[in-house]
């Protein structure tokens, strides 16, 4: 668990860095973000969830246009991006359940993208 704690600390430092950049450009957010990495991490977590949810919208729209069930390549890119962002959030939270689920998911999404791009060659 020490490795997860180390990663969590690094992620928190990155969140503080991002918060400082945001505050530099948008100083009115200093009360919300200054010395509060949890706020930026919650925003990141919701962002990951949004990316992850968007993949279903993409799949739905593509299937509606094709009039059959289709999984477009964009579905896998949104899956892996959302999964990585959620994995980052889970590591920061030190949540072994989400870490395990997102780790396996990211591997599956990467493998699907590998098969797709290997088939194109």
Q: What is the per-residue pLDDT across 36-82, written as a single tens digit (0 to 9) for each?
A: 889 999 999 999 999 999 999 999 999 999 999 999 999 999 999 99
Q: What percent of the chain has pLDDT above 70? A: 98
Structural domain boundaries in the chain = 2-26+37-120
Say if residues 98 and 90 touch (Cβ distance below 8 Å): yes
**Helical H runs in 1-121?**
2-25, 30-33, 37-66, 73-93, 96-120
Query: How far is the C-alpha of 94 from the C-alpha of 73, rounded, in Å?
Result: 31
Q: What is the pTM of this model?
A: 0.87
């Amino acid at each position: 668990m020490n490795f997860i704690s180390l990663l969590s600390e690094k992620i928190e430092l990155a969140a503080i860095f991002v918060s400082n950049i945001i505050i530099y450009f948008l100083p009115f957010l200093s009360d919300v973000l200054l010395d509060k990495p949890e706020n930026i991490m919650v925003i990141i977590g919701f962002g990951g969830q949004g990316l992850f949810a968007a993949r279903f919208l993409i799949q739905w729209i593509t299937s509606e246009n094709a009039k059959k069930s289709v999984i477009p390549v964009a579905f896998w890119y949104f899956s892996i991006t959302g999964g990585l962002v959620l994995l980052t959030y889970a590591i920061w939270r030190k949540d072994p359940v989400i870490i395990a689920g997102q780790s396996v998911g990211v591997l599956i999404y990467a493998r699907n993208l590998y098969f797709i791009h290997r088939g194109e060659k």
